[in-house]
Amino acid sequence: MKITGLKTLVVNAQMRNWVFVKVETSQPGVFGWGEASLEWKTRAVVGAIEDFEAMLTGENPLNIEHLYQKMYRQSFWALGVIGMSAISAIEQALWDIKGKELGVPVYHLLGGKVRDRVRMYTHLGGGDMKAVYETFSVEPLIALAHDVIDKGYTALKVVFVPYSKTIEGRGKVTQFASMFGQLREAVGPDIDIMVDFHGRTTPAMAIQYINAIEEFHPFFCEEPVRPENIDTIKMVTDHTKVPIATGERHVSIYHFKEIFEKNAVHVIQPDLCHCGGLWAARKIAAMAEVYNMGVAPHNPLGPVANAVALHFALSTPNFLIQEDMLTDVPWRWDVVETEISSEKGFWAVPTRPGLGIEINEKEAKKHPFKQEIMHSNTIRDDDNAILDW
């Protein structure tokens, strides 16, 4: 069996475009699917996938690690998130092919099942970008949280950290703590609440924000500062008592090295559509296991990414909880044929070979590429300076 080609299928899902990759083979009816969705870089990722086609055509698709090494090392230039997203999707599709060829679900090939179900959490507002990133009033915050809980989730994520300058006054800290306190009171003690700081703050402000909500027991605080400087993340970890998480914007096993060496966080969040795929994520998780860190993969993407994340979670001992965005568009499950199901905030174990999904290409093509929704407004300070969103 040889690889005969790579095809991309772009599906517009309002907040983002899903980029599906189909790896075709010389064996009739045998192909695999992966996902390389990357916000606001859709055309670039599709181009990167096309660039890899010549490198892979004629290769045996079952030699997954060999082909990963070929794509990564023969590219010569260090690959950023665009190149790594392309590799990730292709790698996922190779696992899909291998599982189908051997007649087993992919998690069997990753060491087998270590749990019987997978706990999930989701965002407020589903695919409504404004609801996810700009809910700064208590009433809609609580209403959206109850909507998530009514769907059966026992954990949710909020993103109402104020857009911040290097140093802010007491007002924003007080407002943030008040909102979190009222949310905790509204949802009760048994719902886990994660706070995504989205890199909006500096260590000085992140420490103040996190210490102000410590009494309300956040499950973890994510990406409290921009992720480029690991020392600044560690500074936050060292001066707070709430678990700290990061990793969604780190796109290879090498980018995680410093995090582990410095014990910079408590939870890592590799994105399986950006970090190199399933096997790269397993390598990252194995390194995290040595440092007693949990793994909570980043994933606000499409249904193929959901399937990939499920197989990872089922086979990874230090897996913690899985992000999803299953309510982004009402037709999400029309574009895939799958047995994958969820109930009361947990995914069930799939039994079909491979990743357990097939793309309904006819349905998918009903939602062709469109320019993704940009953040409603470029985030600016009151003096018009650009802030992190």
pLDDT in tens, 247-288: 999 999 999 999 999 999 999 999 999 999 999 999 999 999
Q: What mean pLDDT is predicted for residues 302-328?
A: 96
Is 369 part of any domain? no
Neighbours of 351 (CB within 10 A): 9
Strand boundaries in 160-278, DSSP class E: 192-196, 220-222, 244-246, 267-268
Distance CA 114, CA 45 (A): 33
Give the pLDDT score at 132.
62
pLDDT in tens, 6-57: 999 999 998 899 999 999 999 999 999 999 999 999 999 999 999 999 999 9
pLDDT in tens, 61-117: 999 999 999 999 999 999 999 999 999 999 999 999 999 999 999 999 999 999 999
Give the pLDDT score at 297.
98
Distance CA 184, CA 161 (A): 15
Q: Is the pLDDT of residue 320 over 80?
A: yes
Please indicate, yes or no, whether residues 86 and 153 belong to a single structural domain of this protein: no
Is 225 part of any domain? yes
What residues act catalytically?
A: 198, 298
Please indicate, yes or no, whether residues 191 and 236 belong to a single structural domain of this protein: yes
- Report residue 297 as tokens: 């993969």
pLDDT band at 377 (very low <50, low <70, confident <90, very high): low
Please indicate, yes or no, whether residues 136 and 260 belong to a single structural domain of this protein: yes
Residues 199-213 as b/e (b if ≥16 CB within 10 A, e otherwise) read bbbbbbbbbbbbebb
Distance CA 210, CA 190 (A): 20
The last residue of one of the domains, among 80, 104, 128, is 104
- The domain tally of the chain equals 2
Residue 98 half-sphere exposure, CB side, CA atoms within 13 Å?
19
Q: Is the pLDDT of residue 376 over 60?
A: no
pLDDT in tens, 187-218: 999 999 999 999 999 999 999 999 999 999 99
pLDDT band at 129 (very low <50, low <70, confident <90, very high): low
Please indicate, yes or no, whether residues 125 and 267 belong to a single structural domain of this protein: yes
Please indicate, yes or no, whether residues 61 and 124 belong to a single structural domain of this protein: no
Q: In CATH, what number is assigned to the domain containing residue 138?
A: 3.20.20.120
Q: The domain containing residue 282 runs over which residues?
A: 108-353
User: What is Dmax (Cα atoms) for the chain?
Assistant: 65
Please indicate, yes or no, whether residues 27 and 163 belong to a single structural domain of this protein: no
Distance CA 153, CA 268 (A): 21
Is 377 part of any domain? no
Q: Is the pLDDT of residue 164 over 80?
A: yes
Give the pLDDT score at 373.
72
CB 141 within 8 A of CB 342: no
Q: Is the pLDDT of residue 124 over 80?
A: yes
Please indicate, yes or no, whether residues 112 and 71 belong to a single structural domain of this protein: no
- Report residue 212 as tokens: 């102000």
Please indicate, yes or no, whether residues 238 and 316 belong to a single structural domain of this protein: yes
Q: Is the pLDDT of residue 378 over 80?
A: no
